[in-house]
C-alpha cells in the first residue's frame, strides 16, 4: 500500500514538491517520482486566467483546476486555497470541495481579502484568532484525517518574525498539520522557525528572486523543515522558453535555428496520452 503524505512526514521523509500550474506541467512532474506536487496559486491563476494572484480568482476557478490536476495525476497534490475564499462557511466549502476534487492537502493563509501573492508587497493579515477559527473549521470539515491542513501566515514581512512565530503557535494549537511561515528573510530566521516548531512539519516556500534564501534540500532539513515547495520554477522557465521560441519565430520567420529546448513531438504525444488513443482506434476502427 502506498504511504500517505501524513505517514511520509511522520517517518521523517523530506518532501520536495515542484510547482504545477496546468496539465502539461502536472503530467511532466507526475512522471518523475516526486512524493508530492504543489498546485501554485500564482501559476494556476496566471495560466488559467492570465491575471495576477491578487484575489481575483474564485473558489470555482480554483477547485476546477484542483480536480483537473488531481484526477489527471497519481502523485499526492498540495493545493493552494488562498484565504479559504471568504469567511468560515467558505472555508468549510473549500475544504470539502478540495478533498472531493482529489487533493491531498489544502493550504489556507491568514491574509485579508483581497489577498496578495507571497513574496510580494502589500500583504495584510487578519487577527490571529480569526485565522485560528478558520483552521479549526478546516479540521472539522475534512472527511479523512489524511487530508492535511496547511496553515500559512504572511505576518513576517510587515509585522516581523516574532508575530509570525506567535501565529504559527496559534495555528498549530488550532489543529494545523503543517505550518507555513511565509517569507523568512535569512537562514538565521529560518533556523529560529525550525527551533520554535520542533516536531511540527514545516514548509519552506522556495521562490527564485523572492525574499527567502534558495537553499538545497539538505540545508533545509538541517534548519528543521520537512517540505519545500517550488511554485515558480517551472512557470518561470516555461515563460522564458515561450519568449525565446516566439522571439526566434518573429525575427526569422521559422524555428530552424532556434536554441530554445523543445520536447520532441513524439515525446509530447506520449506525454498527453496519444498512444492510448491510437491503440483504441486500432481495436475499434470507425470503418
Q: Which three cell numbers stand for residue 256?
A: 530552424
Q: What are phi and psi of 7, to 5 degrees?
A: -65, -40
Percent of the chain with pLDDT over 70: 98
Would strands 148-153 and 178-181 be described as parallel, antiparallel, or unpaired? parallel
The reported pLDDT for the residue numbered 1 is: 36
Nearest partner of 184 among 152, 153, 167, 161, judged by Cα: 161
Q: With H, G, I as helix, E, B as strand and everything else as coil, classify residue 17.
A: strand
225-281 pLDDT per residue, tens: 999 999 999 999 999 999 999 999 999 999 999 999 999 999 999 999 999 999 999
Q: Is the pLDDT of residue 282 over 70?
A: yes
Residue 228 backbone dihedrals phi, psi, to 5 degrees:
-125, 130
Could you tell me the three cell numbers for 250? Answer: 518573429
CB of 75 closer than 8 Å to CB of 57 = no
What per-residue confidence (pLDDT) applies to 116? 74
pLDDT tens for residues 85-131? 999 999 999 999 999 999 999 999 999 987 777 676 778 999 999 99
Nearest of 187, 165, 150, 212 to residue 15 by alpha carbon:
150
Domains and CATH numbers, the chain: 5-238 (3.20.20.60)
pLDDT digits (tens, 9 = 90+) for 132-187: 999 999 999 999 999 999 999 999 999 999 999 999 999 999 999 999 999 999 99
Amino acid at each position: 500500500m502506498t504511504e500517505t503524505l501524513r505517514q511520509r512526514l511522520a517517518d521523517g521523509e523530506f518532501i520536495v514538491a515542484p510547482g504545477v500550474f496546468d496539465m502539461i506541467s502536472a503530467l511532466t512532474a507526475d512522471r518523475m517520482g516526486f512524493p508530492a506536487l504543489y498546485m501554485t496559486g500564482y501559476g494556476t491563476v496566471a495560466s488559467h486566467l492570465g491575471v495576477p494572484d491578487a484575489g481575483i480568482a474564485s473558489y470555482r476557478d480554483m477547485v476546477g483546476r484542483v480536480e483537473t490536476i488531481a484526477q489527471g495525476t497519481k502523485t499526492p497534490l498540495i493545493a493552494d486555497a488562498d484565504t479559504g475564499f471568504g469567511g468560515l462557511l467558505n472555508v468549510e466549502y473549500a475544504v470539502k470541495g478540495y478533498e472531493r476534487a482529489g487533493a491531498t492537502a489544502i493550504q489556507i493563509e491568514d491574509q485579508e481579502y483581497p489577498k496578495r501573492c507571497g513574496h510580494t508587497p502589500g500583504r495584510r493579515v487578519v487577527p490571529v484568532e480569526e485565522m485560528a477559527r478558520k483552521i479549526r473549521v478546516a479540521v472539522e470539515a475534512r472527511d479523512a484525517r489524511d487530508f492535511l491542513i496547511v496553515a500559512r501566515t504572511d505576518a513576517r514581512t510587515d509585522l516581523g518574525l516574532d508575530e509570525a512565530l506567535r501565529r504559527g503557535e496559534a495555528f498549530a494549537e488550532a489543529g494545523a498539520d503543517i505550518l507555513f511561515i511565509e517569507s523568512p528573510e535569512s537562514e538565521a530566521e529560518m533556523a529560529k522557525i525550525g527551533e520554535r516548531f520542533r516536531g511540527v512539519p514545516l514548509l519552506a516556500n522556495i521562490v527564485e528572486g523572492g525574499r527567502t534564501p534558495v537553499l538545497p534540500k539538505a540545508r533545509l532539513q538541517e534548519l528543521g523543515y520537512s517540505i519545500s515547495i517550488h511554485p515558480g520554477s517551472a512557470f518561470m522557465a516555461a515563460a522564458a522558453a515561450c519568449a525565446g521560441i516566439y522571439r526566434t519565430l518573429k525575427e526569422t520567420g521559422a524555428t530552424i535555428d532556434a536554441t530554445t529546448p523543445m520536447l520532441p513531438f513524439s515525446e509530447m504525444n506520449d506525454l498527453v496520452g496519444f498512444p492510448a488513443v491510437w491503440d483504441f482506434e486500432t481495436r475499434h476502427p470507425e470503418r
